[in-house]
């Protein structure tokens, strides 16, 4: 078997991987990317389930390079999966990235060779079954926070005779929902989207809910060519603003807390946010929304009352918009919805509260709940989430020179320096990974903001003939302390969310992301660069 030689090998061809690839090429490095899917887009190759669309305004859900956005238009404020795929094809047409990407190629193993100070990576093609060996100085994992679907252990699931798919592995050719009896297990983003998309055409939709989703109105609308043309004049300023806001959008929290204003002003602000919709009521709210329980509860009560107005059957109010919050608002990522609560006014939509009536097992015909009732279905949509943030990395058998795997090293919790590297694993870097802004940040913004620092770091190492870098344990401890300091003040640990790794049985419960916002993160990593990267031992 011949071995390919690379300076940099990138795993993943979503926003983060593509940005790394393009920027590394500009600097003249021998770089290549591998992608397990058949095309570009990362999660947006796999996300093709009914109703799949972004939860970010389309104009801000793209790279900031004017050469890429100047002649690209989304037709909706929140583009669906097919338009996002078309956008990635547009990027490829402009930058010719595919010539340096191996599609349908999965990294199955990576071993660090201390003698050569290089990673030896095993790559397998799903098309040809060909196995390749790639030797690379630096290995960049750009696997995103949603690349490893999670399917809970449901007895008998494999015996179901109908169609059953996780939403993140929905068939590319689609599934006809017309007249079908459909089970939707889960009420996260994909569950909400599948349910509201299915309800108008299905014979029956049954939503199996464990925890009520505090979903926000998307306020979706079409964008005309004229509006797109007018908006382009604002893009440069809005793109520049992204690095200055907590979550990398072109808006930010208010510069005041709820206690700073009167009840009338508070309610007026809530109404203004509600009318704008999307994530504005989440990430453009009062600045104490994640820290002050009373402020948080005030918005929850506002949300609850607004939502109950849309549900005709008052018996469902406690299930869908309970009097008391299931957890503080916003400490679990809100889903955006278009007509989700209205579907429960239809005769063909039912809700099963899994806390009161859990799933017992699955049969060939459908789902049996603990009350003994068998619910017959043609389709089961498993909207059960991901082994988020770390799962895409630990799914690869990555081992250091002593034979230890990343999965074993993280068994008691992920640990990184600067949200970019782990002690014990030289020349291995993560983009949009654990303890970085990742899940708290607009994806394209994070890909560029953290990506610029990673590109600069690797470029510095390659041009300085540094052949081995590794973060110190002390740097990891310092990074963890900074994360813990924010979490001690915030409300995030009040919810069993994927933010806290609490959705995966046996996984260490911990904050998986950098929770202090993008500007604070950039200050940390840029200070590191200015000081010569003191968190790392270089050789």
Q: Flag whether 478 is in a domain.
A: yes
Q: Flag whether 243 is in a domain.
A: no
Q: Flag whether 122 is in a domain.
A: yes
**% residues pLDDT > 70 (the chain):** 100
Q: Flag whether 269 is in a domain.
A: no
**Separation of alpha carbons 145 and 388, rounded Å:** 5
CA angle 333, 480, 458 (to 5 degrees): 90
Give the model's pLDDT for residue 27.
Answer: 97
| Chain mean pLDDT for the chain | 97
Of 435, 409, 413, nearest to 423 by C-alpha is 409
**Separation of alpha carbons 391 and 434, rounded Å:** 10
**Separation of alpha carbons 336 and 48, rounded Å:** 17
**Separation of alpha carbons 448 and 436, rounded Å:** 13
Q: Is residue 531 classed exposed, middle or buried when 0-12, 13-18 and 19+ CB atoms within 10 A define those classes? A: exposed
Place of tokens 């349910």: 195
Q: Flag whether 192 is in a domain.
A: no
Contact present, 390 and 148 (Cβ < 8 Å): no
**Separation of alpha carbons 43 and 432, rounded Å:** 13
Contact present, 219 and 255 (Cβ < 8 Å): no
Distance, C-alpha 292 to centroid of its chain: 26
Q: What are the C-alpha distances in Å from 462 to residues 106, 118, 234, 467, 514? A: 26, 13, 37, 8, 28
Q: pLDDT category, 100, cuts 50, 70, 90?
A: very high
DSSP string, 505-522: TTSPP---S--S-HHHHH
Contact present, 133 and 122 (Cβ < 8 Å): yes
Give the model's pLDDT for residue 204.
Answer: 98
DSSP string, 470-493: EE-HHHHHHHHHHHHHHHHHSSGG
**Separation of alpha carbons 438 and 266, rounded Å:** 30
Q: How large is the average pLDDT for residues 185-198?
A: 98
Q: pLDDT category, 62, cuts 50, 70, 90?
A: very high
Q: pLDDT category, 355, cuts 50, 70, 90?
A: very high
Q: pLDDT category, 2, cuts 50, 70, 90?
A: confident
Contact present, 290 and 296 (Cβ < 8 Å): yes
Phi, psi angles (nearest 5°) of residue 205: -125, 125
**CA dihedral in degrees (476, 481, 483, 485; nearest 10)?**
-170
DSSP string, 307-375: HHTT-S-GGGHHHHS-SS-SS-TTSSPPPEESSTGGGGGSTTEEEEETTTS-EEEE-SSEEEETTSPEE
Give the model's pLDDT for residue 3.
Answer: 87
CA angle 400, 404, 410 (to 5 degrees): 105
Phi, psi angles (nearest 5°) of residue 365: -90, -30
- Beta carbons within 10 angstroms of residue 115's beta carbon: 6
Q: Flag whether 178 is in a domain.
A: no
Q: How large is the average pLDDT for residues 219-235?
A: 96
**Separation of alpha carbons 157 and 215, rounded Å:** 28
The CATH number given to whatever domain includes residue 486 is 3.50.50.60
SS3 163: strand
**Separation of alpha carbons 321 and 311, rounded Å:** 9
Contact present, 36 and 102 (Cβ < 8 Å): no
Q: Flag whether 313 is in a domain.
A: no
Give the model's pLDDT for residue 412.
Answer: 96
pLDDT in tens, 359-417: 999 999 999 999 999 999 999 999 999 999 999 999 999 999 999 999 999 999 999 99
Length of the chain: 539
Q: Which domain holds residue 14?
A: 3-148+387-538
- Beta carbons within 10 angstroms of residue 468's beta carbon: 16
Give the model's pLDDT for residue 234.
Answer: 97
Q: How large is the average pLDDT for residues 456-465?
A: 96
Residue 403 — left, alpha, or beta (φ > 0 → left; ψ -120 to 50 → alpha)?
Answer: left
Contact present, 511 and 499 (Cβ < 8 Å): yes
The count of structural domains within the chain is: 1
Give the model's pLDDT for residue 253.
Answer: 98
Beta strands in 41-168 (DSSP E): 101-102, 105-113, 118-125, 131-141, 163-166
Percentages helix, strand, coil for the chain (3-state, rounded to 5) are: 35, 20, 45
Q: 136 pairs with which residues across the strands?
A: 6, 119
Q: Is residue 150 classed exposed, middle or buried when 0-12, 13-18 and 19+ CB atoms within 10 A define those classes? A: buried
Q: Flag whether 220 is in a domain.
A: no
pLDDT in tens, 236-291: 999 999 999 999 999 999 999 999 999 999 999 999 999 999 999 999 999 999 99
Q: How large is the average pLDDT for residues 490-502?
A: 96
Q: What are the C-alpha distances in Å from 441 to residues 208, 308, 425? A: 29, 30, 26
Place of tokens 């992204």: 242
């Amino acid at each position: 078997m011949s071995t390919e030689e690379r300076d940099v090998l990138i795993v993943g061809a979503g926003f983060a991987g593509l940005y790394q690839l393009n920027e590394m090429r500009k600097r003249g490095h021998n770089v290549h990317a591998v992608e397990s899917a058949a095309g570009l887009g990362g999660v947006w190759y796999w996300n093709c389930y009914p109703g799949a669309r972004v939860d970010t305004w389309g104009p801000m859900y793209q790279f900031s390079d004017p050469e890429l956005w100047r002649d690209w238009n989304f037709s909706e404020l929140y583009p669906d999966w097919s338009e996002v795929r078309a956008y990635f094809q547009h990027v490829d047409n402009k930058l010719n990235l595919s010539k340096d990407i191996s599609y349908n190629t999965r990294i199955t193993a990576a071993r660090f060779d201390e003698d050569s100070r290089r990673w030896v990576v095993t790559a397998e093609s799903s098309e040809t079954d060909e196995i390749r060996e790639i030797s690379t100085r630096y290995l960049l994992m750009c696997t995103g926070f949603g690349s490893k679907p999670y399917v809970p252990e449901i007895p008998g699931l494999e015996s179901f005779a109908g169609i059953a798919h996780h939403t993140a592995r929905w068939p590319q050719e689609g599934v006809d929902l017309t007249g079908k009896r459909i089970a939707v297990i889960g009420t996260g983003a994909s569950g909400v989207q599948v349910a509201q998309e299915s309800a108008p055409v299905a014979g029956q939709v049954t939503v199996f809910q464990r925890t009520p989703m505090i979903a926000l109105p998307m306020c979706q609308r079409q964008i005309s060519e004229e509006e797109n043309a007018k908006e382009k004049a604002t893009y440069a300023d809005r793109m520049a603003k992204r690095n200055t806001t907590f979550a990398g959008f072109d808006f930010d929290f208010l510069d005041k807390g709820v206690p700073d204003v009167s009840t009338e002003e508070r309610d007026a602000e809530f109404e203004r946010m509600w009318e704008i919709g999307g994530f504005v009521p989440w990430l453009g709210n009062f600045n104490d929304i994640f820290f002050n329980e009373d402020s948080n509860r005030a918005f929850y009560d506002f949300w609850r009352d607004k939502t109950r107005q849309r549900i005709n059957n008052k018996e469902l109010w406690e299930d869908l918009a309970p009097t008391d919050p299931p957890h503080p608002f916003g400490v679990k990522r809100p889903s955006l919805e278009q007509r989700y609560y209205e579907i429960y006014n239809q005769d063909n939509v039912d809700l099963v509260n899994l806390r009161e009536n859990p799933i017992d097992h699955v049969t060939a015909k459908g789902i049996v709940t603990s009350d003994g009732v068998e619910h017959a279905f043609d389709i089961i949509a498993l909207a059960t989430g991901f082994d988020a943030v770390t799962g895409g990395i630990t799914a690869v058998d990555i081992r250091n020179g002593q034979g230890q795997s990343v999965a074993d090293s993280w068994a008691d919790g992920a640990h990184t320096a600067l949200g970019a590297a782990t002690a014990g694993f030289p020349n291995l870097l993560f983009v949009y990974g654990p303890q970085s802004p990742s899940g708290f940040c607009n994806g394209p913004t994070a890909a560029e903001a953290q990506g610029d620092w990673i590109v600069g770091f690797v470029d510095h190492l390659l041009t300085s003939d540094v052949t081995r870098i590794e973060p110190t344990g002390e740097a990891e401890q310092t990074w963890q302390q900074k994360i813990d300091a924010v979490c001690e003040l915030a409300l995030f640990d009040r919810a069993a969310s994927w933010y806290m790794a609490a959705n995966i049985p046996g996984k260490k419960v911990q904050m998986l992301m950098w929770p202090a916002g993008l500007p604070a993160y950039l200050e940390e990593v840029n200070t590191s660069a200015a000081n010569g990267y003191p968190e790392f031992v270089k050789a």
